[in-house]
A and B are shown apart, each in its own frame.
Chain A
Amino acid sequence: MKSSYVWVVVIGMGLANYAVRLVPMALLARLELPKTVQRWLSFIPVSVMAALLVGEVLRPGGHWLPPLQNPYLFAALPTAFVYYKWRNFLGTTVVGVLFYLAFRTLLG
């Protein structure tokens, strides 16, 4: 790959990705949003998190896994319980990885 080509892409990628992040945040922060839009936005976080989790767990790395052979799916259940019970964010992440290692070993 030509170095100049890589530089142009690298700089362009940085600028383009920044624009998508900044423009909506900065513009909308200056407006008072209508009540309906606010209510709609209040449902976005839970929806996004459900989508992120379901995507990562059922289709890790872009490949669907059969549910009964899926260590991600098995590990997510006790992980959810641990967070529900103790409400510790970092601790849950670490324990979750341990659950995952256990199920990965069990399911071969």
Chain B
Amino acid sequence: MSTTPLKQPSCLSARGRLIRGIRLGFPIFLGYMPVGAAFGILARSWGFSPAQAIICSGTALAGAGQFIGLSLMKAGADVASVLVATTVVNLRYVLFGATLSPYVKTAPLSGQAALAFSVTDETFAVNMSDLRQGTGEVWSMAGVGAVAWSGWVLGTALGVFGSSLIGDPYRFGVEFAMPAMFTALLVAQAEDKRHIVIGLVAAVLTVVCALVLPGKWYIVTAAIGAATIGTVTYR
């Protein structure tokens, strides 16, 4: 069985579990900083004020959605079409929220509201892996969310104010931080033969879907397809 280097949550206080989540989410922080900085630089150069760029990252936390929003705004799109486009891009969060819902049952609505705020591809992947290993719970999820949010907002602020100070973060290979993290998470998820098979099915579907579908639609399409095949196959 997997041995986690971090302490089991049962012997930790709420604060200890929050800190455990922050440590767990630290790779996301590293991965978000440069992308957030890229958003900050772009938003600033296309007419956002520093406050607008940072507040946008802090409230939307929407990655690709924010970049798409920016380019539509630059093209002079009206408010409604910008909002529809950025939301549609992130509709996969509906699926993530549904998958996480059984694990947040014990939290009050205010807690669920706080946790929902920080759902992204990366926090979902980290939290889900942790929850399925039995070590995750709402406080560690809050820690993961907080550190991810901080990386995104801090990165945006760096891009807005100090793009000349950082230089090119890509010389440090930061673009592989997220793929490296996903690799570890996928290995952690491959807990039995069924999950390995369905992971492979999803990988094949991803290639097919990414070839024919625009944007990030391949994620949700491949995931729904593979999960459905899994449900039908393993009764």
Flag whether A69 is at the interface (Cβ < 8 A): no
Return 18 A-B CB contacts under 8 Å, by A number. Answer: A9-B79, A9-B83, A13-B83, A16-B83, A25-B116, A29-B104, A41-B99, A45-B125, A47-B199, A47-B226, A49-B186, A53-B203, A54-B207, A75-B179, A80-B187, A83-B183, A90-B26, A93-B180
Q: Is the CB of A25 within 8 A of B199?
A: no
- Contacts A22-B113, A43-B195 given; indicate if A16 touches B176 (C-beta within 8 A): no
A3: chain B residues within 8 A (beta carbon): 49, 52
Q: Is the CB of B198 within 8 A of A47?
A: yes
Q: Is the CB of A25 within 8 A of B104?
A: yes
Interface string of B222-235 (1 = CB under 8 A from A): 11111110110010
A10: chain B residues within 8 A (beta carbon): 52, 55-56, 59-60
Chain A residue nearest to B103 (CB atoms) is A29
Interface size class of B (residues with CB under 8 A): 35 or more
| Tally of contact residues, A, Cβ under 8 A | 72
> CA separation between A50 and B177, bound complex, in Å?
16
> CA separation between A24 and B100, bound complex, in Å?
9
Interface string of A80-108 (1 = CB under 8 A from B): 10011001111011011111110010000
CB distance from B90 to the nearest CB of A (A): 6
> Can you list the 7 inter-chain pairs with the closest CB atoms, starting with the nearest?
A96-B180, A14-B59, A1-B47, A25-B97, A100-B176, A28-B101, A43-B230
18 new A-B contacts at CB < 8 Å, known A9-B69, A12-B83, A21-B116: A3-B52, A10-B55, A12-B82, A21-B119, A23-B94, A26-B113, A29-B105, A46-B195, A46-B202, A47-B198, A47-B227, A48-B121, A50-B200, A51-B202, A51-B205, A51-B206, A53-B185, A55-B206
Flag whether B150 is at the interface (Cβ < 8 A): no
Q: A20, A41, A56, A59: which contacts B87 (Cβ < 8 A)?
A: A20
B86: chain A residues within 8 A (beta carbon): 13, 16-17
Chain A residue nearest to B4 (CB atoms) is A87
- Contacts A44-B227, A52-B182 given; indicate if A9 touches B73 (C-beta within 8 A): yes
B105: chain A residues within 8 A (beta carbon): 29
Most buried by B among A20, A27, A47, A100: A47
Flag whether A68 is at the interface (Cβ < 8 A): no
> CA separation between A89 and B74, bound complex, in Å?
39
Chain A residue nearest to B30 (CB atoms) is A93
Q: Is the CB of B182 within 8 A of A97?
A: no
CB distance from B83 to the nearest CB of A (A): 5
Flag whether B184 is at the interface (Cβ < 8 A): yes
